[in-house]
Amino acid sequence: MNKKFAVAILNWNGEQLLRQFLPSVLQYSDKANIYVIDNASTDQSIKVLEQEFPSVSIIKNTQNYGFAQGYNEGLKDIKEPYLVLLNSDIEVTENWLDSIETIFDTQPRVAIVQPKILDYKRKTHFEYAGAAGGFIDSYGFPFCRGRIFDTIEEDKGQYDDISDIFWASGACFFIRNEVYKELGGLDEDYFAHQEEIDLCWRARNHSYKIKYTGFSTVYHVGGATLKYQSPKKTYLNFRNSLLTLYKNLPQNKKFSTIFLRLCLDGIAGVRYMLMLQPKHCFAIIRSHFAFYKRISAFRKKVEKTPIDKYYKTKSIVKLYYIQKQKTYIRVF
């Protein structure tokens, strides 16, 4: 029987996560073929898969390519029409594929879908990485329905809907296979973090739609690979956010927007110093130099027809820190 979905889990030294979370994926994914793309793990991941999960197809990358290239390499020969890029620390629920299948089957211009993402450790609340679907403000700062910066909302059914969003979380990312290939997949220069925002923006530049459905639920541990408070995560997020703006902004907004964003990053760096977290401040400084270094290489990647209106609000920083609007449901 041909199946519509390919659930692709990227793994690197995650044998314990595979043991913990693969069972729910296998139990509730009758409509999908399950793949694990292994990024040259040095632990017992392959042995665990072969001995304990023989129905799972294993795709072996030759080295640890990171998130973006790891998926691009692993997905090359997968043929199912609907891809599911699923983190290895996700627990899925019964019928989690049904709502997404209906959307893809009935709305051909919808290329990407995200389910409701709740916190595995606190299942009454949304999870940081994606929550109920993402947006960015005019300076490229990402936020979600259900999560603005570090403020997480409780799930009270306020996002039990199907709605348009700007970006879908890479933690549980549904995309049409043909669109993934058309857009060239994830940008491998990102290595990890915010590559899904770039891919969603590029999809929108090609007139595709991105949806969130609150009628499919998964639970995400979060930070299982790289902790939220890691300076490396800060570095990658700030660097990649700038690269995404450079690639996708309309030409008439590029310089002014990026200049203001750099200034706001400087304020964030000062804040980290005042909070006695100098490693994060230096991570922001390094991210800026890395951005400058990559500009010339990224010129060939600049989108030719970027959308002009791409943001949900002028400045989420102002709303959150100055106007004290802490939750999406109160602001929008």
CATH number (domain holding residue 156): 3.90.550.10
- Same domain flag for 33 and 112: yes
The answer to whether residue 256 sits within a structural domain is yes
- Same domain flag for 241 and 196: no
pLDDT of residue 246: 95
Which residues, given as ranges, of the chain have pLDDT below 50? 224-225
> In sequence order, which residues have a C-beta less than 8 Å from that of residue 87 and are 6 or more positions away?
9, 10, 170, 171, 172, 220, 224
Other Cβ atoms less than 10 A from the Cβ of 121: the count is: 11
pLDDT of residue 224: 46
> In sequence order, which residues have a C-beta less than 8 Å from that of residue 259 and are 6 or more positions away?
none
- Same domain flag for 53 and 145: yes
182 and 83 Cβ atoms separated by less than 8 Å: no
Sign of the alpha-carbon dihedral angle for 236, 238, 239, 240: positive
124 and 133 Cβ atoms separated by less than 8 Å: no
- Same domain flag for 123 and 75: yes
- As for how many domains the chain has, the answer is 2
Rg (the chain; Cα; Å):
19
End-to-end C-alpha distance for the chain, whole angstroms? 44
Each residue of 55-81: pLDDT tens digit? Answer: 999 999 999 999 999 999 999 999 999
Each residue of 81-137: pLDDT tens digit? Answer: 999 999 999 999 999 999 999 999 999 999 999 999 999 999 999 999 999 999 999
- Same domain flag for 213 and 241: no
> In sequence order, which residues have a C-beta less than 8 Å from that of residue 34 and are 6 or more positions away?
7, 9, 22, 25, 26, 55, 56, 57
Could you please report the per-residue DSSP string of 202-219?
HHHHTT-EEEEEEEEEEE
The answer to whether residue 258 sits within a structural domain is yes
Range of the domain at 208: 5-220
- Same domain flag for 94 and 130: yes
pLDDT of residue 271: 93
List Cα–Cα distances, 138 to 224, 243, 331, in angstroms: 30, 14, 16
- Same domain flag for 206 and 311: no
Q: Which of 185, 220, 255 is the last residue of a domain?
A: 220
